[in-house]
Amino acid sequence: MTRERPAHPGVFTGRNTPIMDNLWLSAVVACILLGVAFFDEIEWQPGSFPGALAVAGLVYGWLKRVIATAARGHGLLLGILLTGADIVFIGATIYVSGGPASPFWPLFALPILATTLRFGLRMGLTATVVACGLSLAVLAAGRFAHGLSGLNLLRFMFMIAMFLLFSFFFGTLVEEEKKLRQDILALSRTDPLTGIYNHRYLLDVLQSETRRAARYGEPLAVSMIDLDLFKSVNDTFGHLVGDRILIQMVDTLKTTFRATDHLARYGGDEIVAVMPKAAREDALAALGRARERIAGATFSGPNGQSLRITISAGAAVFPDHGGDALTLLDMADRAMYVAKNSGGNRVQFYDPSLSDTSDETALEVASTADPRPEPSMT
């Protein structure tokens, strides 16, 4: 019934790319400084030197940015491949800079952090396992005499524990942030009583659907639906009964309209239905079904009693009745009020061809039924 839109990035999620680019540059600078300051103390692989490592780091960071920019839209697969490349690059750096004695072991935290922030806890733990496996391979390399010594294995176990804790901590933060953002987003978009969109988000949805309809040359129907004599219901039976009736009416509407349609509470007992790709006949058919189902439904009244309620609906279609969201709402609202003033329990369609006479004659009755002057109790 309603479609969510992509959310904006949060504090952690969605912003890791520039953060990691900066971290990579910092790591390259650290490699240069370490290589220059401690050249004699680092057990470099024969034929390798810090300058080559620094250049390789800069080239790799640049290639990552180019690939990430060119392959947008493939976030999951690309992120997994780049994370694997990060781990392999760091493993190779550790291997040529002394293996167990290399000062670059903490660099494994970078791809673990990037994966955790972007994809969550599970992928972060997976990256940690891959990094640990590659670490074991480096330690087991034949050229290191004491690669798998007890001391190195102890260091390895501490490193595993640190990386797992690191990944779990940030992964938990990311998951909690995602959940909180989803809850806040739902509260800001939905009506707390009925669970459909609220007035503020309705305008966003309607403007978006209007732009889409204009772009693709498709029709768009907008309807304003109102409970007949709802004020009398509240005055007679109380607002709690009125709330229950409103909830039941919305539940009925949810089962009547298409899954691609949008329902929103405009205010009070007024409900707006936004129907993408719906022409005049489609809108009239949907609103006619809604009117019949609500008129034939039994609503819960006080003390277990049953009430019969009816609705009035007005409709307008883009682009015939307006080229923007607010105009469509206004035309549908006018049609709805004429339907109510004509006795209620009916659907009326706005007809601009008659607008030169008066507001009332500018509205064409599309379908009518016997009006119900008062809510009935059974």
Name all domains of the chain by residue range, CATH numbers in brackets.
16-188 (no CATH), 199-377 (3.30.70.270)
Distance of CA 134 to the CA centre of its chain: 36
Per-residue pLDDT band at 166 (split at 50, 70, 90): confident
Beta partners for 300?
Answer: 306
% of the chain surpassing 90 pLDDT: 26
pLDDT above 80 (res 13): no
What mean pLDDT comes out for the span 139-153?
61
Q: What is the DSSP letter of 3?
A: -
Tens of pLDDT along 207-217? 999 999 999 99
Which of 13-17, 43-47, 48-52, 347-351 is the most confident on average? 347-351
- Does the pLDDT at position 355 exceed 60? no
- What predicted TM-score, i.e. pTM, was given to this entire model? 0.61
Is residue 353 pLDDT above 60, yes or no? no
Q: Render 105-147 in DSSP notation, one character per residue.
A: GGGGHHHHHHHHHHH-HHHHHHHHHHHHHHHHHHHT-TT-TTT
Q: With H, G, I as helix, E, B as strand and everything else as coil, classify residue 357.
A: coil
**Concatenated DSSP letters of 252-292:** HHHHHS-TT-EEEEEETTEEEEEEET--HHHHHHHHHHHHH
* pLDDT at residue 133 in the model: 80
pLDDT higher than threshold 50 for residue 371: no
Q: Give, to the nearest 10 degrees, the angle between helix 150-189 and helix 121-139.
A: 160
Backbone angles phi, psi at 113, to 5 degrees: -65, -45
Task: State residue 273's pLDDT score.
Answer: 94
User: Pairing between strand 262-267 and 270-276?
Assistant: antiparallel
Name the DSSP letter for residue 31: H
